[in-house]
Structure 1
Amino acid sequence: MRDILPADKARRERVLAIIRERYRAHGFDEIETPALEEYSRLHAGIGGDNEKLAFNVLRRGLEAEAIRAGADDPAALADLGLRYDLTVPLARYYASNRGQLPGVFRAIQIGPVWRAERPQKGRYRQFMQCDIDIMGDDSARAEAELIAASLDAIDALGLEGATVRINDRRALDWMLDTFGFAPDERAGVLITIDKLDKIGPDGVAAELRERGAAASAVDAFEAFLRRPQTLEYNPFGERQIRKGLPENAPDEIVAHLVGIGEAVAASREPAPGIDPVPLVFDPFLVRGMGYYTGTIFELAHPSVDYSLGGGGRYDGMIGRFLGQQVPAVGFSIGFERIVDLVAEQQDATANAVVLVHDADVPVVELLAHKKALIDAGARVRLERRTKNFKALLERAQGDGYTAFAAVRAGDAPGALEVKPLG
């Protein structure tokens, strides 16, 4: 967990403001959920490995004997926990407030989440998530809206050229069934397949055999990975999808993915040299969350070799809380990664002035000078003159201030000489 210094905080808020503005432009409404959720919801078996990283809150009023008795049962000791993502709280929120929400609900949720990660570069125990979700729509329109809004936000941040890798969990299940993997071994098989881009076909095949997967299924999968392939470029569409899957892929799944691409293309301005459909079909995209039931996707950018966000369809989650199935799909931008890539810019208040005053200037005069500049649209900070005047101005510039003025006793408000910094 980190303290955020003023310049970094201003930058983060600027990025968040752009993301919020673009999401709202696409018809999403912002909501807020509590930092705490019930222990039973956070450990319902739908959060994957994140459930193991949850910070749990000890029940109030437990005596020492009760703590000893429950040492092997976390549920007996904790009744609440800090949210480890925004999707589980959203499902509970929708189930609790459905009567006051539209039939198709488009939600923005931005806020901190907590995971007991092992601290390392890029891994924080408290970090910001920026999610958009659509509940109540089982058509390809929902995925297309999410992808279009997310790409629009990324473009607005100056990160043009992003693409979305896309797959469908149903296609993965069909493919594993085609190769002959038994249903009870698929969870482990998917964990290994998810490493394909890191360890390659040889590594995947070797690890699958080490796991004890059916030999005939591993042989069939390895043969598929090594099949001869032509190198011609195929834009996103039916041909690209079918070439990435074994023969006779289900028409319904292929049509769903094609429909997403067509809708995303319609949402974007055509430009020379830019693919109108910034989607890439990846038949081996897995994503680790156990609650995904259909389409899954990840956001990629050519400047980095890691994903900048992702999401997918989780049609089965809300039903756990509501007792009635509701289709749902979401997309989460990796804010902590995005904010480090956004180019440095001046704070939105371009006219930011430091008033450097002598010690003998009366407070009433200082506040009169400050008010005159604020009324003119400036951001204003008061600083008493120090011996190291240059260092004072450099610090102010580092904090985002663009100009300064020297104030002496008796100066008339509005008559100061404002000079640019730098």
Structure 2
Amino acid sequence: MATVNPPRGMRDILPADKARRESLLAVIRERYRAHGFDEIETPAVEEYDRLHAGIGGDNEKLSYNILRRGLDADAIRTGADDPSALSDLGLRYDLTVPLARFYASNRGQLPAVFRAIQIGPVWRAERPQKGRYRQFMQCDIDIMGDDSARAEAELMVASLDALGALGLDGATVRVNDRRVLDWMLDDFGFAADERPGVLITIDKLDKIGPDGIVAELRERGATASAVDAFDAYLRRPQTLEYNPYGERQIRKALPEGAPDEIVAHLVGIGEAVAAGTGATDIPLVFDPFLVRGMGYYTGTIFELAHPSVSYSLGGGGRYDGMIGRFLGQQVPAVGFSLGFERLADLLDQAADAGSQAIVLVHDADVPLAELIAHKAALMVHGRVRLERRVKNFKALLERSAADGYNAFATVSAGVEPGTLELKPLS
């Protein structure tokens, strides 16, 4: 007998939770639109070759592939060791790869600098665990056609504004640049072909600490002199003085001789974010060991942090090389993705705050026409649901409150519409 549960790693979302999630998304959409972004929509399905073009990092290994139509048993056996022979389509594993394809396809109808909102589900064959699902919502904003620090600053200001509108003040953005990482690894003496593996190890710094990082690099067989130089850098003496985000903080966190152009780019982002947020202290923190695993990042990278949780609430970066794979010419691009599922778990925002949601509890003998008239009269105040009175009246009200309703009225036959007494559900 078939199970009635949803597929493993996926969820049914009940009405109250659905309403709350939509309320959060409405706030995010409104703030993003206020910052000049326009919402688009792309298909849930993309071509297999596009999803496996080597630009999606480890996510490509987690993609759900769609079997080609019309394959017989012999064709399936023949292609058993070659997924591309069996699949021509797949479910999107993020919104960035589809966006790059969208821009390449529709560029002639878009402005020179295009600011996009994309909100929708994505699918990854993750190992299901608490807080990690196989289908989840992503909430992205991206800017294409602008290679200046203005683009990063706009994304950060809009995202911090959205979090503030959701009631989550005090967020900061950890910032780094892939070019800084490349320069550091070169300065330490790591060979070009070993740097991807070195970055994977460095990305674990928060989890295993400097000793663990150095030990793993030695186990990897990384250039010994480079590991020694990196080890000395990690253990260098440092003062405990506080430096706000800016040139002093950035240069203090890097080895001597950091490229002036990249430092100036990072400083410019901070100055613009400060102007856009009105904050007396720039809500950015430079982190020279922030890596972010996506292989398509080419410049600035960032993650959204909040003191109430140990994990990031979003992130993104610049991916100037991706659109060129589809268009044949390079187009600068940078994006920021909010971790919507984490935000939804963290925030407890009531759905449709400020509007009424009314339950009309009616006797069995109230004529249908009267019920509909009462409902129509109250719908100007919000949403209205009809419920027949039951013996356990208290349980009915408790269930209605759990479903997001905040007021109720009882209806008897012969009562004039518009004269019902509304009482709070609390």
8 A contact 1:350–1:402 mirrored in 2:
no
Matched, 1:197 2:206: yes
Residue 408 of structure 2: aligned partner: 404
Residue 212 of structure 1: aligned partner: 221
Cα deviation for residue 344 of structure 1 reads: 3.5
Equivalent residue in structure 2 for 1:380, among 337, 361, 384: 384
Say what the alpha-carbon RMSD is for the aligned residues. Answer: 0.9
Q: In the alignment, residue 384 of structure 1 is paired with which amino acid?
A: R
The answer to which of 206-215 and 410-419 deviates more is 410-419
> Residue by residue, what CA displacement relative to the aligned partner does 1:25-65 show, whole Å, maximum 9, x if unpaired?
00000000000000000000000000000000000011111
Equivalent residue in structure 1 for 2:327, among 308, 322, 337: 322
Q: Following the alignment from structure 1 to structure 2, what is the Cα–Cα distance between the partners of residues 329 and 138?
A: 9
Q: Following the alignment from structure 2 to structure 1, what is the Cα–Cα distance between the partners of residues 351 and 293?
A: 38
8 A contact 1:313–1:329 mirrored in 2:
yes
Matched, 1:151 2:155: no
In structure 2, the residue corresponding to 1:267 is in which secondary structure? helix
In structure 1, the residue corresponding to 2:277 is in which secondary structure? coil
Matched, 1:301 2:310: no
Q: Following the alignment from structure 1 to structure 2, what is the Cα–Cα distance between the partners of residues 21 and 45?
A: 34
Q: Following the alignment from structure 2 to structure 1, what is the Cα–Cα distance between the partners of residues 179 and 73?
A: 49
Matched, 1:11 2:15: no
Matched, 1:340 2:345: yes
Q: Following the alignment from structure 2 to structure 1, what is the Cα–Cα distance between the partners of residues 86 and 153?
A: 43
Equivalent residue in structure 2 for 1:39, among 34, 48, 51: 48
8 A contact 1:46–1:317 mirrored in 2:
yes
Residue 169 of structure 2: aligned partner: 160
8 A contact 1:116–1:125 mirrored in 2:
yes
Q: In the alignment, residue 346 of structure 2 is paired with which amino acid?
A: L
Matched, 1:97 2:106: yes
Residue 87 of structure 1: aligned partner: 96
Mapping of 1:164-243 within 5 angstroms?
A: 164-243=173-252
Residue 297 of structure 2: aligned partner: 292
Q: In the alignment, residue 405 of structure 2 is paired with which amino acid?
A: Y
Cα deviation for residue 205 of structure 1 reads: 0.3
Residue 418 of structure 1: aligned partner: 422
In structure 2, the residue corresponding to 1:122 is in which secondary structure? coil
Cα deviation for residue 106 of structure 1 reads: 0.4
8 A contact 1:158–1:343 mirrored in 2:
no
Matched, 1:260 2:246: no
> Residue by residue, what CA displacement relative to the aligned partner does 1:143-167 show, whole Å, maximum 9, x if unpaired?
0000000000011111100000000
Residue 370 of structure 2: aligned partner: 365
TM-score, normalization by structure 2: 0.97
Runs of 4+ residues over 2 Å off in structure 1: 343-350
Residue 137 of structure 2: aligned partner: 128
Equivalent residue in structure 1 for 2:396, among 386, 392, 416: 392
Q: Tell me, which stretches of 5 or more residues in structure 1 are unaligned?
A: none
In structure 2, the residue corresponding to 1:4 is in which secondary structure? coil
The answer to which of 395-404 and 187-196 deviates more is 395-404
Q: In the alignment, residue 422 of structure 2 is paired with which amino acid?
A: V
> Residue by residue, what CA displacement relative to the aligned partner does 1:65-123 show, whole Å, maximum 9, x if unpaired?
11110000000000000000000000000000000000000000000000001110011
Q: Following the alignment from structure 1 to structure 2, what is the Cα–Cα distance between the partners of residues 343 and 67?
A: 48
Q: Tell me, which stretches of 5 or more residues in structure 2 are unaligned?
A: 1-9
Q: Following the alignment from structure 2 to structure 1, what is the Cα–Cα distance between the partners of residues 120 and 261?
A: 36
In structure 1, the residue corresponding to 2:141 is in which secondary structure? strand
Cα deviation for residue 418 of structure 1 reads: 1.8
Cα deviation for residue 378 of structure 1 reads: 2.8
Cα deviation for residue 343 of structure 1 reads: 2.9
Q: Following the alignment from structure 2 to structure 1, what is the Cα–Cα distance between the partners of residues 396 and 244?
A: 55
8 A contact 2:22–2:351 mirrored in 1:
no
Q: In the alignment, residue 114 of structure 2 is paired with which amino acid?
A: F
